[in-house]
Amino acid sequence: MSQEEEEQPRVLAASVADFRYFAALLKGVSFTNRARVSIDPAAFIVTVEEARSIQATAYIFRDIFDEYVYRPESRHGSQDLDRSGEDYVTTVFEIPLHTLIECLNIFGSTPLNPGSATKKKQKHEDGGDSDGGGPRNRDKGPGDPGAGIARLDQWFAPGKGTGMRLSYAGAGHPLTLFIVDESGGPTATCEITTWEHEPTDSEFSIDGDGAVLKIILKSSWLRDALAELDQNTTTLTIIGNPPPPGNRIVRNAPPRLRLRAVGQFGTTEMDYPNDREVLETCECPEAVSFTYRYSHVAKALRAMQSSMKTSLRIDQTGMLSLQFMMPTPRRRNKQAQAFIEFWCLAMDDP
């Protein structure tokens, strides 16, 4: 590489003094390896898709980083508008996501629960180790996708963190990580292969007026219910019901939200009442019912386990959208926040 090439501006230069929050968001969507990265002036966005049936996206906004400088290569890329109405170019490429996560863990500095290094480790579906425990975690079997996942607010224990500088020089170049293990500790430089993005015809979206069910609730209400399900569960049906006329309290009225899980050993139903302490908001004009493969929905458990609130939406075709609002890291003079969005298609013939 010539000196001129070395000195050319990077498309992205981003750094953070403690990258554990960044790593946690990546792990929330790491159910498959190949990931699409989209970079724009506002965010570093990572999307994964599997079997054209499920998709997950981690929106990592610029305020999460201590430094975030984005310089698009040209005006010939994907163009959009920001909130001020000005146009910008989005840089898109693909990476092996599991490799990125392994590089971040090169010093063993991103345990799922930093305070539980001595606890027994369990194997997960992706083959990686994770610490068991946590106030709400049960000692599930190795195949449980939600086992041993710590909440994100446990990632911000006092003490020195491991710093990261992330850079990308443009098409054909690797995604480069420079990692420093605490102040004055060892350093590592990792270059991760990038690929040109291959567009697909998959569409995961819900029009604003197309949702037949909209619910916002604390993630713990949904997480704890799903944690009780047998690992042999095959399908999960989400049922929504409209409120009684005039929102009156009617005895034996159907629940606003019902989850019905079917497995090899029977059926389990979980009802959510019309109570604002449980369902913060619930919009359902008429009764709806859609069924999903539980193995697909279970892939959202890792992100759900770390989130504070969940927005659940379903459209008339059964497209399921789960938006997980993540806790805000403690940062001076910044409101850094991120969320993970999960999409899943309903079964055609449940």
- 3 state SS for 188-241: EEEEECCECCCCCCCCCCCCCCCEEEEEEEEHHHHHHHHHCCCCCEEEEEEEEC
Note the pLDDT of residue 155: 38
User: Does residue 321 share a domain with residue 250?
Assistant: yes
User: Does residue 274 share a domain with residue 187?
Assistant: no
CA dist 301 and 294 (Å) reads 11
User: Does residue 286 share a domain with residue 167?
Assistant: no
Write out the two tokens for 293. Answer: 């493969």
For residues 81-99, average pLDDT: 75
Note the pLDDT of residue 37: 97
CA dist 58 and 339 (Å) reads 6
- Cα distances from 212 to residues 269, 314, 348, in angstroms, run 21, 6, 18
Provide the 8-state DSSP code for 155: G
Nearest to 124 by CA among 30, 19, 35, 187: 30
Query: Is the confidence at residue 296, as pLDDT, over 80?
Result: yes
Segments forming the whole domain that contains residue 80: 3-112+149-192
User: Does residue 259 share a domain with residue 159?
Assistant: no
Nearest to 20 by CA among 93, 98, 108, 135: 108
CATH number at residue 9: 3.70.10.10
Note the pLDDT of residue 248: 67
CA dist 165 and 188 (Å) reads 11
User: Does residue 14 share a domain with residue 100?
Assistant: yes
CA dist 329 and 335 (Å) reads 8
11 occurs within a structural domain:
yes
255 occurs within a structural domain:
yes
138 occurs within a structural domain:
no
350 occurs within a structural domain:
no
User: Does residue 219 share a domain with residue 166?
Assistant: no
User: Does residue 7 share a domain with residue 66?
Assistant: yes
Binning pLDDT at 50, 70 and 90, where does residue 335 land? Answer: low
For residues 190-219, average pLDDT: 87
285 occurs within a structural domain:
yes
Query: Is the confidence at residue 45, as pLDDT, over 70?
Result: yes
Coil/strand/helix, residue 114? helix
User: Does residue 261 share a domain with residue 182?
Assistant: no
- The H helix count followed by the E strand count for the chain is 6, 21
CA dist 297 and 29 (Å) reads 12
140 occurs within a structural domain:
no
